[in-house]
A and B are shown apart, each in its own frame.
Chain A
Amino acid sequence: MTTHLSESEFVDLAEDALDPRRAAHAETCAACRDQADTLRAALRGTAAVDVPEPSPLFWAYLSARVHEEVAGEPVAAGAGRLWTGTGGLVPLAAAAAMVVAVFSGVLLVRAVRGGGNAVPLVAEHAGAPAPATPDGSSEVAPDAVNAEVWAVLTAAASGVKFEDAHAAGMHVHPGTLDHAVQDLTAAERTELGRLLQSELKRSSN
């Protein structure tokens, strides 16, 4: 004689998910069979009840009510939120890819302009020498590189999915990079130049 079905097994039986060997017990045990019939009948009777469909106008009404209430709430801001979607590493990877793409683009520009020689990162503008910084290094003249930089960076960054970059909190649009280059201080440009030079040396070795 096998043991009676447990509560959990009755549920599985009512949902046709019980192991056939255990289900066979209900065939031969009157008490278990009655209990199973009760559950099945309750399940059928419950499942047959629909939610009455409200007036078609109700949905617009509900949306409007929520809209009004939400309008009085502070913006559900989540600045700098990186963890959207499944797997928080994806946005980070996108951000990293974007940085690499930008960096590669600048290197490309430099390689094109310098013919592959390790010349300093100095751009001429209409033949005028770039102004010197206090430490003696030269400044990047942004106007001279803007067009080329933008073209090359657009190509370099084309492999980065916009969704990933957006999910990473990067809101990039045409002109952003131009402004970023122009907004660099002399010291920042110098540092960028130093980084690029060291990267070029490293890659040429």
Chain B
Amino acid sequence: MLTTRAWSCSAEPGYKVTVTNPTDAELVASCLAGTRESFDTLVERHQRHVYQLCYRFVGNHEDASDLAQDVFIRAYRGLRTFKGQASLGTWLYRIGVNVCLNKVGAKTPKPQSLDLLLAASDQRIASQAESAPDALLRGERAERVRAAIARLPKKQRATLILRVYHELPHEEIAGLLGSSVGAVKANFFHALNNLKKLMGEAGSDR
């Protein structure tokens, strides 16, 4: 049985809606007690962050999707080892980083498909009233940055992604990567320097 938290809905006087909103810890406990559906809820809750983490590593939707799936399967298999000392999100990050570092290596990312690029441009145009040329330029620049990130050495890449896009503190990144805070900062320093160089190379190629 899971704890429920109830909110009153003021849409209709006297009408009360009760929404079951179990915590991650409760869902984990429920899953360990044999309720597989609880894991579905955990997936729904965390899939966006996990997918985005994977996407940052590989730079394309197809691989990110496969990696995100792999992260959740590993999480399910290792659910018993989740001690609750960190949040489930952090624990999933840890698995995600390991999966990405192990599977991706230093391989050059596949270029994003034209359809997705155009779809992303369309979204920006619609949401920000951005002109089509501006959107395309922005899309190209983003592609160059993603490609440059994917060429960084593993630990630099992981550090950069976790720090810049997931805004994790240096201490937490150190914990995730099994490094010292000093090493994390040094990796971040070199990642940014290398990124600048790679972007310069990419720019001069054009």
Which B residue sits closest to A43, measured CB to CB? B192
Question: Is B196 part of the contact surface with A, judged by Cβ < 8 Å?
Answer: yes
Within 175-205 of B, Cβ neighbours of A (below 8 Å) are at 182, 185-186, 188-190, 192-193, 195-196, 199
- Asked if B189 and A11 make an inter-chain contact with CB atoms under 8 angstroms apart, the answer reads yes
Residues of B within 8 A of A66 (CB): 40, 43, 47, 69, 72-73, 76
Query: What does DSSP make chain A's interface, helix, strand, loop or mixed?
Result: helix
- Asked if A75 and B51 make an inter-chain contact with CB atoms under 8 angstroms apart, the answer reads no
State in angstroms the CA–CA spacing of A7 and B175 once bound together: 20
Among B65, B77, B84, B120, contact of A76 (Cβ-Cβ < 8 Å): B77
Query: What does DSSP make chain B's interface, helix, strand, loop or mixed?
Result: helix
A14: shortest Cβ distance to chain B, in Å? Answer: 7
Residues of A within 8 A of B110 (CB): none
Question: Is B9 part of the contact surface with A, judged by Cβ < 8 Å?
Answer: no
Q: Would A8 and B185 be within 8 Å (CB), given that A49-B146, A70-B73 are in contact?
A: yes
Q: Would A42 and B196 be within 8 Å (CB), given that A47-B164, A67-B40, A70-B36 are in contact?
A: yes
Question: Is B79 part of the contact surface with A, judged by Cβ < 8 Å?
Answer: yes
Q: What are the interface flags for B72-87 relative to A under an 8 Å C-beta threshold, 1 for contact and 0 otherwise?
A: 1100110110011100
Residues of A within 8 A of B142 (CB): 48-50
Residues of A within 8 A of B28 (CB): 84
Among B3, B77, B120, contact of A53 (Cβ-Cβ < 8 Å): B120
- Asked if B76 and A70 make an inter-chain contact with CB atoms under 8 angstroms apart, the answer reads yes
